[in-house]
Structure 1
């Protein structure tokens, strides 16, 4: 009986078979990398996805900030390839993380298509679905943090890097996408109403970031993406000649950093590898 249990556990830890979910994840990860240039080559105008376009809300990050998508797409592919490799650890866990991420990766391409066809509310709807998938995948990884901690350093790095950066950027981008959709639908961009509306969006983005920082235990890739987004918003607002909104974005950035410091002081060392956990315990 003991031998049977050991065999079952061994099959749960490693498998030499390919999984349909992880293979699909690789295909969709490649799709993320080629979708934007492919859509542009097929004649898409790319207006919505063009940085620093005229008439956009002041709090939209400066154009350079959107280069983070390249990092996210590359990390996504690296994680997908590692997760799909047969013979790796915890095939069941890799599949459980891959399932919601297939929705996310497919959603990215759908978001680019929506940006060409109906860039107001369709893009926001797609982003919300992507965020739900990211939250589901991150929840699985956090619940199984001890198992993930036993993976190789590379496996841990590409997993937490993908989840953290993707979730961090998306959780802020949803608020900015909402602002763009509202303005495109007739909401005021200038004056007191426009100023208060964008300030409210910054407050909502800040609250979301603080909540997710606490939930993830101060996950550093998540923090990095959020800091990148808020820094871009500061520069975007300043470049648009809106010093009040630039200050508001800077306050949001400071609040996020302070929250991250507080969370990381209280959190246990859950995401490190076995050696670091032993050193911390001893």
Structure 2
């Protein structure tokens, strides 16, 4: 059985600065996002001309406001020494620092070299998110003993951040190919984007099963795929809209068995269970 003591043995005397760094980077996410919205270039503008049809509709990117708020709230809660299970919070802080810093780096790269640098940074962010989620799942029974507010903050932050990001990186890959000269329309462009949607769906289903139907992850992945549906409809690409809708249906179908197990939807709503149970 995994215990907090096990996390403590892997925690070094430098672990507290990681929690401080996580808070600094969480604040940096908010600041960089505000600056990007005020002064950002074309690549970070919603519904920009010439973008691939499967890029989610502009309004769906409002999910980043939720991500930024949850990240900041959790980082503030996790910082003080008096909070429970310091070793678990320390173990989570390092990958979350990488993720939060990556967010700001992604926005900077979008202004400097938005083609492939953004994809590489997104990949690092997702690696950090999966590492943080793996740690949280390993110590899920310890985390279940936290007060309700921080417990929900952690799982919803991890779920929404990872759910959106694991779909968004596939879309980012599409924009990179188009930015490198690949077509976004015509038979080649349509087939390529259908392959991207298939990859995004497969990724979501794989992580959803790994996390035993983590509800926040599911909702964020569905939000991203729904955005792709409306993006394709706006671009008058009915086939791509149908493919994105099919992906959303597959994600829902993958989550149903986990949610039905022990009344999982009601348990998620009340906070009685967490990922991996």
| 1:151 matched residue in structure 2 | 146
Is the contact between residue 102 and residue 124 of structure 2 (CA under 8 Å) also seen in structure 1?
yes
Q: How many residues are treated as equivalent by the alignment?
A: 260
Give the superposition deviation at 1:273: 11
| 1:160 matched residue in structure 2 | 155
Is the contact between residue 151 and residue 273 of structure 1 (CA under 8 Å) also seen in structure 2?
no
| 1:121 matched residue in structure 2 | 116
Tell me the distance in 1 between the aligned counterparts of 2:271 and 2:101: 36
| 2:80 matched residue in structure 1 | 85
Runs of 4+ in 1 over 2 A off after TM superposition: 36-41, 263-269, 271-277
Is the contact between residue 103 and residue 130 of structure 1 (CA under 8 Å) also seen in structure 2?
yes
TM-score (norm 2): 0.89
Tell me the distance in 2 between the aligned counterparts of 1:274 and 1:227: 22
Pair 267,213 (structure 1): closer, same or farther in 2 beyond 3 Å:
farther
| 2:58 matched residue in structure 1 | 63
Tell me the distance in 2 between the aligned counterparts of 1:36 and 1:84: 22
1:72-121 per-position Cα deviation (integer Å, ceiling 9, x unaligned): 00000000011112211100000100110000000000000000000000
Pair 184,274 (structure 1): closer, same or farther in 2 beyond 3 Å:
closer
Give the superposition deviation at 1:272: 6.7
| 2:11 matched residue in structure 1 | none
Which of these residues, 20, 23, 31, is aligned with residue 20 of structure 2? 23
| 1:234 matched residue in structure 2 | 229
Q: Give the secondary-structure state (helix, strand or coil) at the position aligned to 1:19.
A: helix
Tell me the distance in 2 between the aligned counterparts of 1:275 and 1:127: 30
1:129-175 per-position Cα deviation (integer Å, ceiling 9, x unaligned): 00000000000000111001010100111000110000001100000
| 1:219 matched residue in structure 2 | 214
Give the superposition deviation at 1:268: 9.7
| 2:204 matched residue in structure 1 | 209
Q: Which 5+ residue runs of structure 1 have no aligned equivalent?
A: 1-7, 13-17, 278-282
Q: Which 5+ residue runs of structure 2 have no aligned equivalent?
A: 9-14
Pair 267,185 (structure 1): closer, same or farther in 2 beyond 3 Å:
farther
Give the superposition deviation at 1:37: 2.8
Which of these residues, 126, 137, 150, is aligned with residue 142 of structure 1? 137
Which of these residues, 29, 33, 46, is aligned with residue 32 of structure 1? 29
Confirm whether residue 178 of structure 1 aligns to residue 180 of structure 2.
no
Give the superposition deviation at 1:274: 11
Tell me the distance in 1 between the aligned counterparts of 2:121 and 2:63: 19
Tell me the distance in 2 between the aligned counterparts of 1:99 and 1:244: 42
Pair 195,36 (structure 1): closer, same or farther in 2 beyond 3 Å:
same
Confirm whether residue 110 of structure 1 aligns to residue 131 of structure 2.
no
Q: Which has the larger radius of gyration?
A: 1
| 1:54 matched residue in structure 2 | 49
Give the superposition deviation at 1:38: 2.9
